[in-house]
């Protein structure tokens, strides 16, 4: 930021909202629905970004830091623990908050939760666990979307996410609810604002596909945990045939083979057809077969181009198709091939 822009910022000292952590992109999108005229940013963990946003947080009239999660979100429990090294930049930003600032924290990630004790700023927490200031409960999925309740200070307000699914999306909404509360809005007002929230492309959105099918698009990125959650949601929503189109999950280290086999086992319990794409797809297939999925229901490909053509030919009216995989696998190409919206 040059001297002129810094001077303008000092004169106006606007409210600044900064989202950090793995869920920051969706958080920023949700928060923009609640506070449309506020400066809302997202930041990675590089030293350059931290230095830049330190300036904003220290000099804003009301700086608000939202820390989502640094650990992987498990599909089967409401608490987890991220690596401390992954939260170092968040701790540095929290330390920059003045006393008039706010720190909004994911209560379920214990590494993030402990940052509450490292700041002089006021704080609010959100999560699925009892003890969070804003707690999500009574979560239900159907083919139309996700409904749940948010509980705060004895009040319970229903929320509805049309065509959106998954814990990360609920975390994004919880973050935005905390932000609205900080700015003096009530839960009913916030709920109305978030009706227009549509998430981001490739983030567990339901989209119309060719041949009157539906696509559960999670193609932007995946971890083993997020893919298992997506498969569980695929199983729970809608009627008719379920198709899982799964690309490799990268950065699994020494657990790569085991993680992909577990994904395959989950796919066998969830999907009628499995399309496995990538060099690690053989492990997905092994897991699916071990769990009893028939060979004629499994399609394995090394390249995206092969998978796209085969999937187009196989799709029928009423199919529900999950597309998932790591960013590097470019599973969005499969989605673009079969979408109609």
In the predicted structure, residue 1 carries a pLDDT above the cut 70: no
Domain 3-196 shares a fold with domain 205-338: no
In the predicted structure, residue 185 carries a pLDDT above the cut 60: yes
323-340 mean pLDDT: 95
For 188-218, give the secondary structure using H, E and C. Answer: HHHHHHHHHCCCCCCCCEEEEEHHHEEEEEE
Q: Which residues of 236-267 are buried (b: 16+ CB within 10 A; e: fewer)?
A: ebbeebbbbbbbbbbebeeebeebbbbbbbbb
107-122 mean pLDDT: 94
Q: What is the pLDDT of residue 238?
A: 86
Per-residue pLDDT band for 5 (boundaries 50, 70, 90) equals low
In the predicted structure, residue 314 carries a pLDDT above the cut 70: yes
Q: What is the pLDDT of residue 335?
A: 97
Q: What is the pLDDT of residue 59?
A: 87
pLDDT: which is higher, 10 or 226: 226
pLDDT over 90 percentage in the chain: 88
Q: Hey, what CATH topology would domain 205-338 get?
A: 3.90.190
Q: Which two tokens stand for residue 189?
A: 């007002």
Boundaries of every domain in the chain: 3-196, 205-338
State the number of CA atoms in the 13 A half-sphere of 194 facing the CB: 34
Average pLDDT, the chain: 94
Q: Which of 88-92, 107-111, 128-132, 249-253 has the lowest mean pLDDT?
A: 249-253
Q: If you search the block for the tokens 């990125």, which residue do you land on? A: 221
In the predicted structure, residue 102 carries a pLDDT above the cut 60: yes
Per-residue pLDDT band for 55 (boundaries 50, 70, 90) equals confident
pLDDT over 70 percentage in the chain: 97
Please give the class, per CATH, of domain 3-196: alpha beta
How many degrees, rounded to 5, is the angle at CA 175 between CA 152 and CA 263?
110
16-44 mean pLDDT: 95
- pLDDT, tens digit, for every residue of 285-308? 999 999 999 999 999 999 999 999
């Amino acid at each position: 930021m040059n001297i002129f822009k810094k001077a303008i910022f000092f004169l106006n000292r606007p409210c600044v909202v900064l989202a950090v952590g793995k869920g920051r992109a969706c958080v920023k999108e949700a928060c923009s629905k609640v506070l449309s005229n506020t400066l809302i940013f997202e930041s990675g963990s590089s030293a350059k970004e931290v230095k830049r946003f330190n300036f904003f947080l220290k000099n804003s009239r009301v700086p608000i830091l939202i820390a989502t999660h640094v650990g992987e979100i498990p599909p089967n429990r409401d608490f987890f623990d991220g690596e401390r090294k992954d939260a170092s930049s968040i701790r540095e930003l929290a330390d920059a908050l003045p006393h008039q600032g706010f720190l909004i924290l994911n209560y379920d990630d214990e590494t993030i939760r402990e940052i509450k004790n490292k700041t002089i700023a006021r704080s609010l927490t959100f999560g699925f666990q009892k003890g969070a200031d804003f707690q999500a409960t009574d979560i239900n999925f159907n083919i139309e979307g996700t409904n749940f309740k948010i509980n705060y200070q004895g009040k319970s307000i229903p929320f509805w996410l049309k065509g959106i699914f998954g814990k990360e999306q609920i975390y994004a909404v919880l973050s935005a609810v905390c932000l609205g509360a900080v700015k003096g809005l009530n839960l009913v007002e916030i709920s109305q604002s978030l009706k227009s929230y549509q998430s981001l492309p490739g983030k567990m959105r339901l989209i119309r596909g060719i041949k009157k099918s539906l696509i559960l698009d999670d193609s932007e990125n995946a971890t083993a945990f997020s893919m298992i959650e997506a498969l569980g949601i695929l199983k729970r929503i809608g009627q008719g045939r379920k198709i899982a189109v799964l690309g490799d999950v990268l950065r699994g280290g020494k657990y790569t083979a085991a993680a992909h086999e577990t994904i395959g086992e989950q796919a066998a319990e969830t999907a009628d057809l499995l399309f496995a794409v990538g060099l690690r797809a053989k492990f997905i297939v092994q897991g699916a077969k071990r769990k009893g999925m028939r060979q004629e229901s499994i399609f394995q490909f090394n390249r995206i181009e092969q998978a796209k053509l085969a999937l187009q030919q196989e799709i029928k009216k009423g199919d529900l198709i999950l597309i998932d995989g790591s960013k590097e696998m470019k599973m969005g190409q499969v989605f673009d091939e079969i979408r109609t919206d």
